[in-house]
A and B are shown apart, each in its own frame.
Chain A
Amino acid sequence: MTGSFSSRNPAPCDLSLTVNGEMKTVRAYPMERLLDVLRHQLELSGAKEGCGEGECGSCSVLLNGALVNSCLLPVLQAQGADIVTIEGLAPGPQLDRLQEAFLTCGGAQCGICTPGMILAAHHLLRRKPDPTMDEIREGLSGNLCRCTGYVQIFEAVAEAARRRVNS
């Protein structure tokens, strides 16, 4: 975005980004939060607002492969980025191993933290395919869950790791 910047009223701009493998164009104010653009313009409501301050992680998405809190990201900074939301983790009818493991192990109760939690776990397993319990704990420490006490979430992640290793 070049050109003269001063003394101009803010205006929405056109941005293009890849979301779940598809190229998307959105029209948004540059300071709209990526979370809101995903939920409203793109109708991907899997990412949730739990706190609006980057503490709970329920807004987590992957941006260029990195886990980020979309409530803290101005959409302008996502221009040209490759975003993956929970809807894109397993786009077909077959579930991702993490999703299956969350179902078997009771990793989801009320479900509101679940999209962010699964993406955080996905991000962890990409970097550490066979994590220790401490590494799982640390990898998910930015995602708050009020229902499970984390026990069955950890078990789900460990189970998904096992299934990955065994496949």
Chain B
Amino acid sequence: MTNERIVGASVPRKEGRDKVTGQARYVDDMTLPDMLYGATVRTQFPRGRIRTITFGPGIAWNEFVIVTAKDITGKNVIALIADDQPCLADGLVNHPEEPILLLAHPNRHLLPQAVQAVSIDYEQLPAVFTMEESENHSQIIWGADNTFKTYRVEKGEVDEVWEKADHIVEGEYWTGAQEQLYIENNGMIASFDPQQGITVWGSLQCPYYVHKALMALCNLPADKVRVVQMETGGAFGGKEEYPSMIAAHAALLAIKSGRPVKIIYDRMEDMVATTKRHPSRTRHRTAVSKDGKILGGEIEFTVDGGAYATLSSVVLSRATIHAGGAYYWPNVRIKAKAIATNTPPHGAFRGFGAPQSLFALERHMDRIAQVVGLSPVEIRKRNFLKPGQMTTTEQTVREPIDMEQLLDRALKLSDYEAKKQRFTQENEISKSKKGMGLAAFLHGAGFTGSGERNLGSVVGVEGCADGGVRVLVSSTEFGQGTKTVLCQIAAEALGLPYENVEIAQADTNEVPNSGPTVASRTVMVVGKLVQSAALGIKQTLIASGLLGNSYSPEEFRAACRSQVATLGSFRSWARYEAPADVFWDDDKYRGEAYAAFAWAVYVAEVTVDLTTYTASIDDFVAVQEVGKVLHPVLARGQIAGGIAQGIGYTLYEKVIWQNGRMQNGQMTNYIMPTSADLPPIRVFFEEMGNIHGAFGAKGIGELPMDGPAPAILNAVEDAVKVRFNSIPLLPEDIFEALVVDREPHAAGRVR
């Protein structure tokens, strides 16, 4: 595709005009006639058995619709993977903020007091709050042993490397929970009609996840459940699985009342009750030769999944596969587990396990460098994966990636060497200390292993009466540019102007299941299907004799109009087919984990102010190889936004837990960076293409989440010569290590 006119250009965002004029319709902007407002009564205890529920005085309870678990006609479950999470707790409660019952009323102002007036009496049971408590089995709170899932990867002969090692380097690394903090809170509207069934409109990423969950909950067939995505104000994974829960609640109230019901969370409810990024602990033990080559290692990785399984097995999977990063491990054993605690279940958040295991690895690489006596640059160069070598899951690197060159480019752009030298000198006399840090990593795009095959995504393109075409996907727009890029792809494939391509609203009545909008798969995987389906439209018109093999846009439009006039609107479908040479063993966790990897090197320049112990970032360089950049402005926006979230993850965003409940559930004390806190973020791309992705694209949405934390902590260590191995790293932590501990050893994990 040498003469691309649309793909590769920064065309206007499809829904951009609506967004800048305030016309875009988010779920809370919609009202239906006769609509009620809904609210959720939640437990404040981490674990217990419900004894009695009392509806207190002072509330006109007869005006309220009340729904409990007893009102569920299907299964009291939010169907996802393990089907262990109830929609409404019935008997046992397993985490603070677990939903118990639902209320609805025409006047939304009466709901908060009504919620407060419901009192629930429990027999309290002992609860588990930390990973250590969970794995020590002091209480069994889930399954036989508190373990949602384990994985084990074995490559080579790890047990034999220790004797040959010149150095054995150990390290323990921790990451905390992180709140997605989309600026639009979760919300849903549900409506029920005995003939048509349930319809929900909401803020969500995956219409068909909600569809599946509602079928199970309400015991309805597929054609009696309809899910419609509204404009969604940010998601980042926080609206991947959680919307099924709030949709279920709205649906139950709608069924019981016979009226539409709207549930919109306020910020505090959203923060304390919905999913967050999984906290993690990684232990590395690595055998290294004296010239800095990794001989082998053991990696033990654990995530805290919260009280129910939800998506923890999949997060664990991605973390496991990324645990070895962009390096060649001749021998490795990775043991990974996801375990239960009595906290609200943790869930999807951009990166989905990879930021956690890559943080550990990239901190550990700097540690290895120190022990061996090499620079952070040199240790990486000596261990980077090269084309033809195999990853930890024995996937052969087939593309001509040159990580050394990528690293050199990042070093040059950030002026790394010169600055590092200058800072070393200046730090002797200056009250602020400066440092440089880097991280090198990769990120697999699309579902892992057989995941894409199992999804069997379907995409449609429709020829329309006006001569243009319409893309039919369940993939959703929530800022990352889905609508724009998929239309670009279709336009390019058909040789049409971008303006002649539209995309349908993600409505399960109108669009096929193109899979969830997650895993950085939309442009690469779904886009490629859009390309195929678009070409199918062309074939149809050519086969009908209405179009020649080469044509102008006007000719296409005329042909399309003609086809529609005679036979009605027509569609072309494309279904995902796994590439023949892609093989994955689910039992041994070995094989081609991902169809494509994006590769990156990030460099952070940091100042640590020793008056206030704050670390701030003065410059941030991000270099990544992403296959092909289909839309430069959108791509750059994705990287910059992901890095900003990564900076928040590292230096600002701390969830303060007490007995399993988040204590700082407000924007005033859960700290996200403002415009005054972020450095200039400088983004650079390289493009090697990708045979598996639309027009050579790879997924990039999650990649930028992996680099900032280790790059920044590597820079902080360079600045103050103290090893921090836990994020978030707050000024209080830096203070404790520098002033209180006064010792240059790894600071203890801070919870």
Report whether B29 and A45 are in contact in the complex, using a CB–CB cutoff of 8 Å: yes
CB of B633 within 8 A of CB of A105, answer yes
Given A143-B675, A149-B641, A110:B232 Cβ within 8 A: yes
Q: Is there an interface contact between A111 and B479, defined as CB atoms closer than 8 Å? A: yes
| Residue B418 lies at the interface, judged by CB distance under 8 Å to chain A | no
Question: Is B256 part of the binding interface, using a Cβ–Cβ cutoff of 8 Å?
Answer: no
Q: Is the Cβ of B183 less than 8 Å from the Cβ of A113?
A: yes
Ranked nearest first, the 8 interchain pairs of A and B with the lowest CB-CB distance are A46-B22, A112-B233, A110-B479, A111-B19, A149-B644, A109-B479, A86-B22, A149-B640
What 0/1 readout, one digit per residue, does chain A (134-167) give for beta carbons within 8 Å of chain B?
0011101111111111111110000000000000
Please indicate the chain A residues that have their CB under 8 angstroms from the CB of B181 in the complex: 146
Q: A146–B652 Cα gap in the complex (Å)?
A: 14
- How far is A144 from B236 in the complex, measured between Cα atoms in Å? 16
Cβ distance A92 to chain B, nearest Cβ, rounded Å: 11
Q: Apart from A48-B183, A56-B667, A152-B640, what are 10 other A-B pairs with CB-CB below 8 Å?
A: A45-B26, A53-B668, A58-B183, A90-B21, A108-B20, A111-B231, A112-B234, A144-B183, A149-B637, A149-B681
Binding stretch for chain A, among B9-17, B577-585, B603-611: B9-17
Considering the complex, give the chain B residue whose CB is closest to the CB of A143.
B675
For residue B635, which residue of chain A has the nearest CB? A106
Q: How many residues of chain B get a CB closer than 8 Å to chain A's CBs?
A: 55
Question: What chain A residues lie within 8 Å of B22 (beta carbons)?
Answer: 44-47, 85-87, 114-115
Question: Does residue A74 face the partner (Cβ distance < 8 Å to B)?
Answer: no
Are B21 and A99 closer than 8 Å at their CB atoms? Answer: yes
Q: List the A side residues contacting B729 at CB < 8 Å.
A: none
Q: B184–A50 contact, CB under 8 A?
A: yes
Q: How far is the CA of A157 from the CA of B18 in the complex (A)?
A: 19
How far does the alpha carbon of A112 sit from the alpha carbon of B29 in the complex, in Å? Answer: 11
Q: Are A55 and B668 in contact (CB under 8 A)?
A: yes
Decide if A42 is an interface residue (CB 8 Å cutoff).
no
Does B266 have its Cβ within 8 Å of any Cβ on chain A? yes
Q: Point out the residues of chain A lying under 8 angstroms from B185, CB to CB.
A: 49-50
Q: How far is B187's CA from A48's CA once the two chains are assembled, in angstroms?
A: 13
Most central of A50, A85, A137, A149 by chain B CB within 10 Å: A149
Q: Does B634 contact A (CB under 8 A)?
A: yes
Instruction: Check B667–A95 contact: CB distance below 8 A.
Output: no
Residues of A within 8 A of B640 (CB): 148-152
Is A51 engaged at the interface, CB distance under 8 Å to the other chain? yes
Inter-chain contact B637/A152, CB cutoff 8 Å: yes
- How many angstroms between the C-alpha atoms of A48 and B182 in the bound complex? 13
B672 at the A/B interface (Cβ < 8 Å)? yes
Q: Is B636 an interface residue (CB 8 A)?
A: yes
Q: Is B413 an interface residue (CB 8 A)?
A: no
Which residues from chain A contact B633 at a C-beta distance below 8 Å? 104-106, 152
Which of these, A49, A95, A144, contacts B28 with CB under 8 Å?
Answer: A49
Which residue in chain A gives the minimum CB-CB distance to B236?
A146
> Interface on chain B toward A: helix, strand, loop, or mixed SS?
loop
Which one, B26, B266, B676, contacts A137 given CB within 8 A? B676
CB distance from A107 to the nearest CB of B (A): 8
The verdict on A118 contacting chain B, using a C-beta distance below 8 Å, is yes
| Contact indicator B13/A145 (Cβ below 8 Å) | no
Q: Which of A60-114 contact B (CB under 8 A)?
A: 85-87, 89-90, 95, 99, 102-114
CB–CB B26/A112 < 8 A: yes
C-alpha gap A113/B267 in the complex (Å): 15
A50 x B267 contact (CB < 8 A): yes
- Nearest neighbor of A44 in chain B, beta-carbon distance: B22
Q: For B645, what are the chain A residues with a Cβ–Cβ distance below 8 Å?
A: 146, 149
Judge if A52 is at the interface, Cβ distance under 8 Å: yes
Interface flags for A113-141 (1: CB within 8 Å of B; 0: not) read 11100100000000000000000111011
- B19-A108 in contact (CB<8A): yes
Binding site for A on B (CB under 8 A): 10, 12-13, 15-26, 28-29, 180-185, 231-236, 266-267, 478-481, 633-634, 636-637, 640-645, 666-668, 672, 674-676, 678, 680-681
Q: Is the CB of A48 within 8 A of B637?
A: no
Contacts of A146 in B (CB 8 A): 180-183, 234, 236, 641, 644-645, 672
A87–B18 Cα gap in the complex (Å)?
Answer: 10
Shortest CB distance A102–B (Å): 5
A102 to B633, CA, bound (A): 11
- CB-based contact A106/B676 at 8 Å: no
- In the bound complex, residues from chain B placing their C-beta under 8 Å from that of A154 are 675
> Closest residue of chain B to A138, judged by CB?
B676
Q: A56-B667, A87-B22, A95-B21 are in contact. Are A111 and B676 (CB under 8 A)?
A: no
* Cross-chain pairs A/B with CB under 8 angstroms, 22 sampled: A39-B28, A45-B26, A46-B22, A86-B21, A95-B21, A102-B20, A103-B13, A104-B633, A107-B20, A110-B183, A110-B235, A110-B479, A112-B184, A113-B183, A118-B20, A144-B674, A145-B675, A147-B479, A147-B637, A148-B644, A149-B678, A151-B680
B-chain residues with CB within 8 Å of residue A147 when the two chains form the complex? 234, 479, 637, 641
Contact, CB under 8 Å: A56 / B480 = no
> Are the CB atoms of A108 and B680 closer together than 8 Å?
no
Contacts of B637 in A (CB 8 A): 106, 109, 147-149, 151-152
Q: Which of A58, A114, A138, A152 has most chain B Cβ within 10 Å?
A: A114
* Distance A133 CA – B18 CA, assembled complex (angstroms): 27
Closest Cβ of chain A to B266, distance in Å, is 6
Contact of A151 with B666 in the complex, beta carbons under 8 Å:
no
In the bound complex, do residue B675 and residue A137 qualify as a contact, i.e. CB atoms below 8 Å apart? yes
Min C-beta distance of B621 to chain A, whole Å = 13
**Which residue, B10, B21, B184, has most C-beta atoms of chain A within 10 A?**
B21
Q: Contact at B267–A52, with CB atoms within 8 Å? A: yes
Q: Say how far A36's CB is from chain B's closest CB, in angstroms.
A: 9
Alpha-carbon gap, A89 to B678, bound state (A):
28
CA distance A118 to B24 in the complex (A): 15
In the complex, the chain B residue whose C-beta lies closest to that of A139 is B675
Give complex CA distance A47, B675 in Å: 20
Residues of A contacting B235 in the complex (Cβ-Cβ under 8 angstroms)? 110
Shortest beta-carbon distance, A112 to chain B, in Å? 3
CA distance A142 to B672 in the complex (A): 12
Chain B nearest CB, measured from A146 CB (Å):
5
Complexed CA–CA distance, A147 and B232 (Å): 12
Tell me the bound Cα distance from A126 to B636 in angstroms: 29
* A114 and B234 form a contact (CB under 8 A): no
Residue B21 contacts which of A53, A87, A106 (CB distance < 8 angstroms)?
A87
Contacts of B23 in A (CB 8 A): 46, 87
Which of these, A46, A47, A99, A110, contacts B184 with CB under 8 Å? Answer: A110
CB–CB A48/B20 < 8 A: no
Set of chain A residues within 8 Å of B16, measured between Cβ atoms: 102-103, 108
Q: CA of A147 to CA of B644 in the docked complex: distance in angstroms?
A: 8
Q: Which residues of B contact A53 (CB under 8 A)?
A: 267, 666-668
Cross-interface CB contact of B636 among A106, A111, A150, cutoff 8 Å: A106
Residue of B whose beta carbon sits closest to that of A40 = B31
A112 in contact with B183 (CB, 8 Å): yes
Cβ contacts A23-61/B at 8 Å (1 or 0 each)? 000000000000000010000111111111101101000
CB contact between A50 and one of B183, B480, B643 (< 8 Å): that residue? B183
CB distance from A89 to the nearest CB of B (A): 8
Contact among B28, B634, B667, B675 for A150, CB-based, below 8 A: B675
**Which residues on the B side are within 8 Å of A48 (C-beta)?**
26, 28, 183-184, 233
CA distance A67 to B185 in the complex (A): 23
Q: How far is the CA of A87 from the CA of B24 in the complex (A)?
A: 11
Contact partners of B478 in chain A: CB under 8 A: 110
A110 neighbours in B (Cβ, 8 Å) = 182-184, 232-235, 478-479
